[in-house]
Structure 1
Amino acid sequence: MKHDVHKFIRKHRLIEAGDTIIVAVSGGPDSIALLDFLWKERTRYSIDVRACHVHHQLRDVEADEDEAYIRQFCQKRRIPLYSKRVDVKKYAMASGDGTQVAARKLRYEWFSELLSEMPNSKLATGHHGDDQTETMLMQMIRGGLPIRAYGIPAVRKLGDGVVIRPFLGITKEMIEHYCKQHGLNARYDSSNRARTYTRNRIRQDVLPVLKRENQQVHTHMQRWQEWMKDDQQWLQQQAEESLSSIIIEKSERNVTISCAALLSVALPLQRRLIHLILNYLYGKNSPSITSIHIEQVLELMNQDNPSWDYHLSRSFIVRREYDFCHFSGAQENTLEEQEHILSVPGRIEFADWVLEAYITEDAAFTEAENEIVLDKKALAEPLLIRKRQPSDRIACRGMEGTKKVGRLFIDRKIPKQERENWPILVDGNGEVLWVPYLHRTRVAQAEDDSSCRLVVACCRQGKKKADFTSSSD
């Protein structure tokens, strides 16, 4: 194991003489082994080794015992320890993030602060080769944007410093053997066995199968991550250099390009050029730009039709006029004219409507007239709330084919002034999922065996339920 770790450190130049290495320690085998390893090799590398620990206040007594174990471990070796308690539950409720995401955000915010306070410092984490394999599989399964490298980088920037992962070249089994060999009675987090988390299911069900096929799968995944990162960086650089050759006009909210110039470059660059343009227009408020958005724009550009419009989220439109393609922000006269991403969980206001989305684990949950229940795994995200469009059609439950949304309003005798402010729920493909109180889609409908149910509920501020015509679907 030691040989493999030293080799990985040299290859990626993770450590330099004079560095202060702060090891992020949870108390588990991975981080404790890393702290012990670097502490014992501190003379070899001419480094100052320290430790830091975040108490997430999620596991009560178990977490307190982890903290006590780490403190005792560091005191015995005279390793300086920095610790902090964070309120993950409170932060998650305020931000709408899941527990795991909230914990990671708070953890890395503090890590960044530590690095800024210590010159020549680096943060070391205990991520290993099995983590790399699990992460890459998770990102592929979830449909990560293919123009980005998957996986965990060996080194990345964080605030004024960097994060390093010296154990990415070895497996969990090697780490546990090291702990046993050196008498490190590391702690074990009970949540790592909970099957509610995707990573744990991959770890328990998928990884053993891969290892039976090839014990060195972690090595191949690591090489794949490194090569893919290099390839993506090169392609991104080529796209950035090609950008000026396709742009005809550019302003803060508008970019006009030549369709012929875009389509003349290689397809991998076409995808990245569109992504660069969208990132520029969205700026810091960029939503999740998916591969679907990029593919749809390219598909439209390759059509013979010389004129079309494509509506993106957050009020942006792609419009073609013969050889010109305009990426622009739509007029923002009123709130109702915009599209809004509905996060899960999340809540937004649209005109005088309020819509909320959340996950329920209740398999017997039934829809109220102001709700729709969907199979989250069958959905194309992100979910969007917008006003109706003339071309909108919905695959109504209990009916064959589709029906025009405009016809729904007419059939239910909804006044014209009401129709313009009525929220429409659509998926990432633009498929209409729900016209509240009028009709629900049969697309992604939650079934008895649906394992992840997403509920979207709505109400209208200042309006009574009697103002609405109940749904017949």
Structure 2
Amino acid sequence: MLEFGDKVLVAVSGGQDSVASIYLLLQIRNFFNLDLHVFHLDHMLRGDISKEDAQFVKALAEKEGLPSTILSFDVPLYAAEKNLSVEEGAREARYMLFKKVANEIGANKVALGHTVDDQVETFLMCLLRGSGLKGLRAIPPVRDIFIRPLIEISRRETEEYCRAQGIEFKVDASNFEFTYLRNKIRHNLIPYLEEYNPNLKETILRTIEVVGDDERFLDEIASKEFNRVSVIKEGLIKFSLDDLKALSVAIRRRVLRMGIEILKGDLKGVEFKHIKDLLLDAEKMSKLRRDIPGQIAIIKEYNNIILIRRDLLEKRGHFEVILSGPGKIEIPELNIEFEVCITEVKGDLSSEKGILKDKFCLTKGEANLVANLDADKVHFPIQVRNHLPGDKFFPLGLKGEKKLQDYFVDVKLPERLRDKVPIILSEGEIIWVVGHRIDDRFKVTKETQRILNIKSQFKDNNNF
């Protein structure tokens, strides 16, 4: 939890647990050379009582010669705006402000006063609400910058410690309000269950330990499989359906959850139902879309499962740009630049590498695509736009004319990308479907005297 020289933001509500935590940290401060800073948040839930708690914590910090940050935050308003319960809103606000204040004062650790009783209560809350192994691990002793020095100490022990040391603390009356699920579990459910198992807390703690070990092992496997079967691009993560099907159900679910967490930033609002039967549905249906919280969608494209930001599924508006002659042209809608130039053919063209040798007259780079065409068959101005219904062309290497829509289906270009592909035309005829094929009628031949070279620079390569 701690390393020599850590700067620790200590969350102190004024209750026995958090007050005990600050005094325990003071006892080991010199040994670890700790720089302690007290933090208190007034949730604005209990009127004058909240203000009294804030004043109490400020006085405690001053008494011990510690710097402090005392903040007020309108939790009821925040919870209403976020459509959260007051309990959920308070928790979210706390962690948001923990990180903000820690960053402002340069603290690399945040110490929270959770005890073993909080651990047991959280386990039961997760069990009642429905949770996988990750939730049943309850409260981790260390997560990111957050540490919980009292996580193996009971609430009874913190109270005994404070009383034995003559340390004052505040009693939070809201801990006895039965509108909160945690309080119902603490005061009703646990005593009831202890009638069946007097060692209930010890039993649950052993279960948490076993679940934690199993969960970490499964996560290690899932992480390796995720790296093996996923392709990550800006705003999306792609999996082969066959690769996912080959995984065990337990690992498959974790792999999908890892992808969602990477794309979304967290797993808030993501439930078992969002991924249950997903692969079964994907096998049955040619098209599939499931929206999940956080502006993320899960879709099926051919034999792939895609996790994607929903905004990337929105249709692009029509764009059209005209280039009157050789030079440069930009397509802001796609963040693409084209450079067009004409060169005279010198010598035997059949020996020119990359022109006739490449039957498709197309070279692909990591972020560049280049087409070579017969300049005397192309007439300026040329037009650059996205495809329209009824577009047809003669794909190089294929026989006859083909509808562009049919071509996209044949090459399995995802529907979400089709209106993002630039189409270059001369006198209304397609000369190049950028990133795919030139038109056979405009190809370079041995008789070509001038070559029209079109180079495209893509600032992101997600469209292709």
Q: TM-score range by the shorter chain?
A: 0.5 to 0.7
Distance, in Å, in 2 between the alignment partners of 1:310 and 1:105 is 33
Q: What SS does the corresponding residue of 1:69 show, helix, strand or coil? A: helix
In structure 2, C-alpha distance between the alignment counterparts of 1:19 and 1:249, rounded to whole Å: 36
In the other structure, the counterpart of 1:36 is 23
Equivalent in 53, 74, 79 of residue 61 of structure 2:
74
Contact 1:249 1:256 (C-alpha < 8 Å) held by counterparts: no
Letter of the structure 2 residue corresponding to residue 16 of structure 1: E
**1:270 alignment counterpart:** 252
| Runs of at least 5 residues in structure 2 that lack an aligned partner in the other structure | 317-464
What is the letter of the counterpart of residue 94 of structure 1?
E
Q: Which residue of 2 aligns with 1:294?
A: 275
Residues 185 and 236 of structure 1: CA distance in aligned 2, closer, same or farther (over 3 Å): same
Alpha-carbon distance change, 277 to 46 in structure 1, aligned in 2, over 3 angstroms: closer
Residue 26 of structure 1: SS of its match in structure 2?
coil
Residues 25 and 53, structure 1, Cα contact 8 Å, conserved in 2: yes
Distance 1:72 1:146 in 2: 42
State the match for 2:85 in structure 1: 98
Equivalent residue of 1:58, what SS?
coil
Decide whether aligned partners of structure 1 residues 72 and 284 sit closer, same or farther in structure 2, where only a CA change above 3 A counts: closer
Q: Which amino acid aligns with 1:273?
A: V
Q: 1:84 aligns with which of 71, 74, 77?
A: 71
Spell out the pairing of 1:67-466 with structure 2 (5 A cutoff): 67-119=54-106, 121-146=108-133, 150-157=137-144, 162-212=145-195, 217-243=200-226, 246=229, 253=236, 255=238, 257-259=240-242, 261-279=243-261, 283-284=264-265, 288-300=269-281, 307=285, 309-313=287-291, 316=297, 318-319=299-300, 324-327=303-306, 332=314
The alpha carbon displacement at 1:169 in A equals 0.5
How far is 1:112 from its partner? Answer: 1.5
> Which of residues 52, 61, 77 in structure 1 aligns to 2:48?
61
Q: For 2:135 and 2:86, how far apart are their aligned partners in 1?
A: 25
Query: CA 1:279/1:46 → structure 2, altered by over 3 Å: closer, same or farther?
Result: closer
Q: 1:192 to 1:262 in 2, by over 3 A?
A: same
Superposition deviation, residue 177 in structure 1: 1.4
**Residues 16-63 of structure 1: per-residue CA shift (max 9 Å, x gap):** 232233321111111111112222333344323332211122211211
SS of 2:9 mapped into structure 1: strand
| Inter-CA distance 54–288: structure 2 relative to 1 (3 Å threshold) | closer
Displacement of 1:327 in angstroms is 3.6
Which residue does the alignment assign to 1:9? none
Higher mean displacement: 205-214 or 66-75: 205-214
Q: How many residues align?
A: 310
Seen in structure 2, the aligned counterparts of structure 1 residues 73 and 312 have a Cα distance that, compared at 3 Å, is same
**In structure 2, do the counterparts of structure 1 residues 25 and 120 end up closer, same or farther at CA, with 3 Å as the change threshold?**
closer
CA contact (8 A) 2:110 2:147 kept: yes
Q: Which moved more, 1:81-90 or 1:196-205?
A: 81-90
Residue identity opposite 1:289 in structure 2: V
Q: How much is the aligned-residue C-alpha RMSD, in angstroms?
A: 3.3
Q: Which structure 1 residue ranges, 5 or more long, are not aligned?
A: 1-13, 335-473
Amino acid at match of 2:20: A
Residue identity matched to 2:161: Y
- How far apart, in 2, do the equivalents of 1:134 and 1:175 lie? 17
In structure 1, distance between residues paired with 2:34 and 2:99: 20
- The secondary structure found in structure 2 opposite 1:32 is helix
Secondary structure of the equivalent of 1:83?
strand
AA aligned to 1:272 is R
Partners of 1:18 and 1:120 within 8 A in 2: no
Q: How big is each residue's C-alpha offset from its partner over 1:125-182, in whole Å with a ceiling of 9 and x where there is no partner?
A: 111001011111111211234455531111112xxxx111111102111111112212
AA aligned opposite 1:170? I
Q: Which amino acid aligns with 1:263?
A: K
Shift of 1:223: 4.7
Tell me the secondary structure at the aligned position of residue 187 of structure 1: coil
What does the per-residue CA deviation read over 1:409-461, in whole Å, with 9 as the maximum and x for residues that have no partner? xxxxxxxxxxxxxxxxxxxxxxxxxxxxxxxxxxxxxxxxxxxxxxxxxxxxx
Provide the secondary structure at the position in 1 that maps to 2:276. Answer: helix
Larger Rg: 2
C-alpha distance in structure 2 between counterparts of 1:125 and 1:254, whole Å: 35
